[in-house]
Chain A
């Protein structure tokens, strides 16, 4: 039994607010992706370094990021650290949580990509007189990023969808937060969440399309 009369005009009147929320969602996702890639490359470096301590940090990070719910990570970035007296705004907490998650997954993607690059390339580069760092940066890294580009776009999609978890730490101006606020105000649950779903869908489609365009441009052999 589902007897509900859809009143789209009531919900569509709120569309501008929701689109503003979508912009914030995109901001969080993009920032968390950029930071996530930087951290993931660092973690990959840690793993390759052969230093036990650095390797330990990287392994711990990846293990926690991949084996606990993103919700837990975001919640910890807000309420967890606050019990030590460190206060982050909801936006920052959400960003930290998703970045942490992204970095963990991406580091794992990068590891897989590195495995696909034959060792002989490093040796060839070194034998040409390149220092280790240079060999990594100029020979291995570009190939690693190329191989893991599509998994990266996947993670970007995931980051967009994870922003919806921000409501648990009091985030109320991203797409999901705005939708929930409006829901409380008007009780037009189904229209509002349907619109939010469509917006999420469109964002993801745009990301996928963009990733394909970029891939076609960058990776022509």
Chain B
């Protein structure tokens, strides 16, 4: 009798220990245990994400993911994810973290959990030469376009609604936007200064030029993961902080974007 009680107790304790152990394992634990960090990266968004001549992923976001994996002591796996598929990829468990230049809007933060900003974009208006634009306000009444689902697309669509004139067209890829702009299908687009300069310089899209800076609040982008994974989000926040602190942020900026100072990621006058 006594023995069986003892055995039963032991058995129950073991069960409890096992379940307790699995219950407490969060995503951070899972990543460390699996030995692989899977990052969603958009590879149609130079210089943040693209492919080199051998079709291997490269860019700021790719390096950022590699750094994060190194910090965690695991292997990095880049999962190519077009802009609209970032959330399905995360929710379906195909990726652990998004390193995908994702603007941290309040609307989106209701669905996913964002880290503190790890990069900030300034945006430029790029016009077709035939449209004869001088300032960003010349976009009024024009047919404009941008990559669907991006911060600048949301901003432009809002402007068009505010002006009550003109037309907005979202395209699926950045390449399609610039093709349409070069063909004159759209007369202007707004994209990050980095992307705009790269595309104008590439010579692949004749007849376009940077017109003006877009008067937008800098587009702060954060890493993202499951909203409830506080442990991981905490780690991501510290990681972003360390990247800036150690000078790696400036180093990556110089490597992928060019000379000059990367954007300030802090906002004066408020805590985050």
Chain A residues packing against B (C-beta within 8 Å): 1-4, 7, 10, 78-79, 82-83, 85, 87, 89-90, 167-172, 177, 180-181, 183-190
Whole-angstrom distance between the Cβ of B154 and the nearest chain A Cβ: 6
Whole-angstrom distance between the Cβ of B22 and the nearest chain A Cβ: 13
Bound Cα distance A38, B91 (Å): 46
Residue pair B172, A168 in contact (C-beta under 8 Å)? yes
- Cβ contact of B87, chosen from A82, A168, A187, cutoff 8 A: A187
Contacts of B88 in A (CB 8 A): 189-190
- List 3 A-B pairs, minimum CB-CB distance, nearest first: A184-B149, A170-B169, A187-B111
Residue pair B84, A180 in contact (C-beta under 8 Å)? yes
Bound Cα distance A89, B107 (Å): 30
Known: A79-B183, A190-B91. A172 touches B148 (CB 8 A): yes
Bound Cα distance A185, B108 (Å): 7
Contacts of A177 in B (CB 8 A): 170
B145 lies within 8 A of chain A by Cβ: yes
Contacts of B237 in A (CB 8 A): none
Whole-angstrom distance between the Cβ of B180 and the nearest chain A Cβ: 7
Chain B residues packing against A (C-beta within 8 Å): 83-84, 87-88, 91-93, 107-108, 110-112, 145, 148-150, 153-154, 157, 167-172, 176, 179-180, 183-186, 226, 228
Residue pair B185, A82 in contact (C-beta under 8 Å)? yes
- Cβ contact of A167, chosen from B93, B148, B157, B180, cutoff 8 A: B148
Contacts of A3 in B (CB 8 A): 91, 226, 228
7 chain-A/chain-B pairs, Cβ below 8 angstroms? A167-B170, A168-B172, A169-B171, A184-B84, A185-B154, A187-B111, A188-B111
Contacts of A79 in B (CB 8 A): 176, 179-180, 183, 185
Bound Cα distance A79, B176 (Å): 9
Give A171's nearest chain B residue, CB to CB: B169
Contacts of B107 in A (CB 8 A): 185-187
Contacts of B176 in A (CB 8 A): 79, 168, 170
Chief secondary structure at chain B's binding surface: mixed
Whole-angstrom distance between the Cβ of B42 and the nearest chain A Cβ: 13
Residue pair A186, B84 in contact (C-beta under 8 Å)? no
Bound Cα distance A87, B184 (Å): 8
Residue pair B92, A2 in contact (C-beta under 8 Å)? yes
Bound Cα distance A170, B153 (Å): 12
Give A82's nearest chain B residue, CB to CB: B183
Whole-angstrom distance between the Cβ of B72 and the nearest chain A Cβ: 19
Whole-angstrom distance between the Cβ of B23 and the nearest chain A Cβ: 14
Bound Cα distance A82, B87 (Å): 33
Residue pair B148, A187 in contact (C-beta under 8 Å)? no
Identify 20 new A-B residue pairs, CB closer than 8 A, beyond the known A170-B145, A187-B107: A2-B91, A10-B110, A79-B179, A79-B185, A82-B183, A87-B185, A90-B169, A169-B171, A170-B170, A170-B186, A180-B84, A180-B148, A181-B157, A184-B149, A184-B153, A184-B154, A185-B107, A186-B108, A189-B88, A189-B91
Bound Cα distance A168, B92 (Å): 24
Contacts of A89 in B (CB 8 A): 167
Bound Cα distance A186, B110 (Å): 8
Give A10's nearest chain B residue, CB to CB: B110
Residue pair B149, A180 in contact (C-beta under 8 Å)? yes
Bound Cα distance A82, B176 (Å): 12
Give A188's nearest chain B residue, CB to CB: B111
Contacts of A168 in B (CB 8 A): 171-172, 176
Bound Cα distance A1, B25 (Å): 14
Residue pair A172, B168 in contact (C-beta under 8 Å)? yes
Give A191's nearest chain B residue, CB to CB: B111
Known: A170-B171, A184-B83, A187-B111. A4 touches B150 (CB 8 A): no
Contacts of B111 in A (CB 8 A): 186-188
